[in-house]
Chain A
Amino acid sequence: MEKKCCSCKKIKVVNIGLQTFAESLEKQGVKVAQVNWRPPVKLDKEMEDLLDSLL
């Protein structure tokens, strides 16, 4: 991984959320990857209990 620096290294951005922010970075010539984020699935109580007992 490239060392982080305030101004001397190229930034590469992973964007999670507003697509317009990714587009704005691309327009500035920045390498951007968008995460196709989905909300975590809400498990019902029975499934949660089952997972708890297994893990």
Chain B
Amino acid sequence: MTAQTLAPAGTSTEVPAGAGRPPRFNWARARETSANQLFLVPVALVFVVLLVVPLTQTFYWSFTDFTGYSADVNFVGLSNYRKVLTDPSMLAGLGFTLAFTIGTALLITTFAIPLAVVLNKKFFGRNFVRSVFFFPAIPSIAILGLVWGYILSPLGSGVLNSVLETLFHAGPYPWLSDDTLARLSVIVVAVWGGTGWHSMLYLAYLQSIPADYYEVATIDGASARQQFFHITLPLLTPAVVISNFLLMTGGLKVFDLPYTLTKGGPGFATYTITQSIITSGVAQGRYGLASALATLFAFAVGLVAVAQLWVSRRIERRVL
């Protein structure tokens, strides 16, 4: 929103008398604009202090042998970057990080949209049901990880294994002890935790779709399925863009859920890039190396985000 649209009529927007002369500098408008822009200062400060400064420092440290204990560092050129790209354990988490990101983005989107459509209908206890689905977004993911650790315990006494044994005489299954099952379990828990939150996002967009469209479609004889695919889904495209942008960036940075569920194991099966950055930086005092990995990773995430936005905008433009 610009200052002009905020300006009261009769002051800044009127054409001054004596048109033809170069317009005089409008002090009143400038004062108004500067007063409004003052409100941006705190946000800008927060942005600079919490984002720009640390990012710049990380970039600087990536060229040094910084250990985290002394600011007295030596410049080591590109050796940290060389090490990151040649040491397989530094990139051990790349595969699962990508699988987690794509898996959660696809599954959450697939489940959240139909859920939002259902939650948008009128039925008894609707608000309660909405709260239940939103609940997993409230506690910290780390706590959810610990709770799910008990549910998915690979022993026969684990909650899920006990249920399967009682109902189907099946199992016990090594949910967190087998590479594939552990990866799937982490993704499933993330989907369980994220679907409710994202469905609320879709719900907000759904509520802005005019009811007239559906009324007209019903009169024209469109089925519920046709209405969903030809009205609801296209008009939800902006929400899909935002939701997937958040899911992709959040997924690439994931740390807390896999760490609390499996600590990255078994082996390196659920190891993530962020875990690698934290382990090498904090635990091993190799901040220089961790900074190089973080810089490369931030750059890669940025590229993915920009590419995703570009593709999404094109789809949005074609659909809407």
Q: Do the two shown chains form a genuine complex with each other? A: no
